[in-house]
Structure 1
Amino acid sequence: MRILLFTGKGGVGKTTLAAATAARMAAFGRKALVVSTDPAHSLADAFGMALAAEPAEVDTSLYAAHIDARGLVDRHWSTLREHLRRVVAGIGLDALDAEELTVLPGVDELLALTEVARLAETGPWDVVVVDCGPTAETLRLLALPEAIAGYLDRMRAARLVAEVRAAADTVGTLATHLAGLRALLTDADTTTVRLVLTPERLAVAETRRTLAALALRGVHVDALVANRVVPRARRWQGPAAAWLRTRRAEQDAVLAELDASTPLTVHRVEHRAAEPVGAAALLAVADELYADTDPLDVGRPPGAPLLSVTEDGDDYLLAIALPLPDGSDPDLARVGDDLAVTVDGTRRLVALPLMLRRHTVTDAEADSAGLLLRFTPGEEDRP
């Protein structure tokens, strides 16, 4: 079973391409589910039919659903939060502290992600295609397992779990569940991201930043899709044709730069005069996007791991595979046995391999392939 996450800047057409991909998978004979975590109900518009939280068949082997994150919060988190609030208040914290400690930022997005995992694990699907929210929301969503792990540590620091067994069981179960979500997101053989963009410089710049942010999260991107490419004005004449040629030339230049800056394949889909609605129209989009190729075969296989270590005399070289965007200024800081890596506002604590923990960073280089750090042993560790 595969999970494909489609995301991109708002308005680039990711919902249409996610739905088209699922339709193509079903046409190939696979049982496909396309599900939206976006609060906007665009997926229902793409199929021209109402969708609910449970999967509904929209065509042969093709199912769709729209996750109601707010409803999930009302059903699942409210009771748990009230239970934890009583636990916190019961050990002597005042009502304000109890309220603050039991607020979980992003709980609606977390439950949406949890529901995607549930549908993927319990259904008969060969592939689950996820229409995610805009890029910023998706990055926050994918960061939640780590962020909430910090929340659980905060609860432990407040000695909540040591005081009440019920709270310990609750927090332990949630921590285990989050670890499972994290493993699912970073398993490149199962879960991959496809970034959708329009061929404009601002959209391409955001895409490059997103590639770096996802690499920091350990999430694998297997393809880029440039949507709404202006059709070529082949034999047309007049002002409209001149405008189309100029616009297409601009787009081609932007995409050529993107092609040169990433090993990922940049797939192209031309702008249509009419919005594709319904399975037949979506299949036409998929035909242009994938031609005769299985949608699962177009992506780039997992490349180098995020971290790799080589020896250089007494020193070690640590390579961090990050697709750094132009003009980025990565920040590195040692935090105990971890390395804090920050790129364009996205920060991750990377656990250092054991052999590096007694060494010191003495040099660092950055290029389009990522970061290369030199670790030198302290005097007491030299031979």
Structure 2
Amino acid sequence: MSLILTFLGKGGVGRTTVAIAAAKRLASQGKRVLLAASDSELAFGLLLNAPLTPDPQELESNLQVLQFKTSLLLERNWEEVKKLEAQYLRTPLIKEVYGQELVVLPGMDKALELNAIREYDASSRYDVIVYDGSGDSTFLRMLGMPESLSWYSRRFGKLLKDSDLGRTVSPFLQPLISTIFNVSWTGDNLDQPTSKVTNILEQGKEALADPKRLAAYLVTTVDPAAIATARYLWGSAQQIGLTVNGVILNSATMTETFSADFSPLSVNAIPHCPPGDWQPLMDALPDFTQAPQVPKPIEFDIAARQVRLFLPGFDKKQVKLTQSGPEVTIEAGDQRRNIFLPPGLSGRTVTGAKFQQSYLIISF
């Protein structure tokens, strides 16, 4: 498994420059590095001063680079879908629909890129994958998709299993699904992790929650809008369960006020350098291979009957707590998180909540 490294921040703060410098630094340390850029990062090739392809090509020792092409990713994935359909159906329905005909729908580009990163990670060819994505709220929602889809599967699956409709159609669907998908499906095991998709979602959730597997850093300048955006993305990252490891301050000197804005994260200030002069930037970057001691996004204290969520960048007026049924929903900014309570808290009703020093503390 690889370390997947990515960067969050407002457009124009130098995320692409930092991603390239980080990849070069890690490669110089002997790590096998893949540097992958989003289809929309137009400055990527200019900064590298190299022609880019949608497949990995060697840029220098230990460093391969690619720029995703969404239409090509869509074609490749469509061919895999057709193979699966042909494997399970005697008369495939979509065999006459070709990947070259498909258009890219909104949001599909990020999903396809993240799936490609998952596949490169599974190949074991790289020690580190540096992903230069959009680094915004939409990107964070996509990173949180495994958790969101798992919630939909869990909640709607349970509703179907417990409903009159589920009990009625189960005798008819069970043999059909067993034949097509080669799984044993009944109302009793509807919510069990039997499918490839479920396994992928679980792997995604585990990677997201492990700072040694997925490391994110904020990139900002001293511009007030850039700082506000970075703080907002910091809190939004915590909402999806992604630990932010630190802050990279581009082309500025760190002050006590700036440090306080991002406490307790460590801050690394990097200098402004002429195009192509990467070494000063590489030297100023943090050690990405070491997971720092930073607050976890969520902690469960069963003995005290509490859940603690670290939500920096928000105040109590921006945080909303609701409990509907067996789960608790936290809304902060434009992000929602459904908390699946562990044994010991499951089934209990919220008795109180307070927002203290960037922590939402929920009591049961």
Relative to the length of structure 1, the TM-score reads 0.74
Aligned partner of 2:187 in structure 1 is none
Q: Are residues 317 and 183 of structure 1, via their aligned partners in 2, closer, same or farther at CA, if it must alter by over 3 Å?
A: closer
CA separation in 1, counterparts of 2:182 and 2:227? 45
CA separation in 1, counterparts of 2:232 and 2:179? 42
Aligned residue among 224, 227, 230 for 2:250: 227
Query: 1:168-179 alignment to 2 at 5 Å?
Result: 168=181, 172-179=195-202
Q: Are residues 326 and 303 of structure 1, via their aligned partners in 2, closer, same or farther at CA, if it must alter by over 3 Å?
A: closer
**Aligned CA-pair RMSD:** 3.3
One-letter amino acid matched to 1:340: T
Comparing 356-365 with 206-215, greater Cα deviation is found at 356-365
Q: Are residues 38 and 68 of structure 1, via their aligned partners in 2, closer, same or farther at CA, if it must alter by over 3 Å?
A: closer
Preserved CA contact (<8 Å) 1:324 1:367: no
Query: 1:200-239 alignment to 2 at 5 Å?
Result: 200-229=223-252
CA separation in 2, counterparts of 1:82 and 1:333? 44
Query: 1:6-25 alignment to 2 at 5 Å?
Result: 6-25=7-26
CA separation in 2, counterparts of 1:130 and 1:348? 24
Aligned partner of 2:91 in structure 1 is none
Helix, strand or coil: the match of 1:333?
strand
- Verify: 1:285 aligned to 2:281, yes or no: yes
Q: Deviation per CA, 1:53-75: give whole Å up to 9, x if none.
A: 22111111111111222321233
- Considering fraction of residues, name the structure with more helix: 1
Q: Are residues 331 and 301 of structure 1, via their aligned partners in 2, closer, same or farther at CA, if it must alter by over 3 Å?
A: same
Q: In the comparison of the two structures, how many residue pairs are matched?
A: 325
Task: State the shift of 1:179 in Å.
Answer: 2.3
Q: Are residues 164 and 154 of structure 1, via their aligned partners in 2, closer, same or farther at CA, if it must alter by over 3 Å?
A: farther
Where structure 2 has 5 or more consecutive residues not aligned to the other structure, the ranges are 89-103, 161-165, 184-193
CA separation in 1, counterparts of 2:182 and 2:269? 49
Q: Deviation per CA, 1:80-138: give whole Å up to 9, x if none.
A: 49999xx9xxxxxxxxxxxxxxx986333222111112112214322211111131232
Q: Are residues 258 and 107 of structure 1, via their aligned partners in 2, closer, same or farther at CA, if it must alter by over 3 Å?
A: same
- Verify: 1:107 aligned to 2:108, yes or no: yes
Preserved CA contact (<8 Å) 1:205 1:325: no
Preserved CA contact (<8 Å) 1:212 1:323: yes
Aligned partner of 1:348 in structure 2 is 337
Preserved CA contact (<8 Å) 2:302 2:344: no
Q: Are residues 370 and 327 of structure 1, via their aligned partners in 2, closer, same or farther at CA, if it must alter by over 3 Å?
A: closer
CA separation in 2, counterparts of 1:154 and 1:352? 14
Where structure 1 has 5 or more consecutive residues not aligned to the other structure, the ranges are 88-102, 231-251, 376-383
Relative to the length of structure 2, the TM-score reads 0.77
Preserved CA contact (<8 Å) 2:21 2:281: yes
One-letter amino acid matched to 2:283: D
Query: 1:258-269 alignment to 2 at 5 Å?
Result: 258-269=259-270
Aligned residue among 311, 325, 328 for 1:339: 328
% identical aligned pairs = 25
CA separation in 1, counterparts of 2:105 and 2:205? 18
Q: Are residues 330 and 14 of structure 1, via their aligned partners in 2, closer, same or farther at CA, if it must alter by over 3 Å?
A: same
Aligned partner of 1:245 in structure 2 is none
Preserved CA contact (<8 Å) 1:7 1:131: no
Q: Are residues 149 and 23 of structure 1, via their aligned partners in 2, closer, same or farther at CA, if it must alter by over 3 Å?
A: same
Q: Are residues 55 and 220 of structure 1, via their aligned partners in 2, closer, same or farther at CA, if it must alter by over 3 Å?
A: same
Preserved CA contact (<8 Å) 1:38 1:131: no
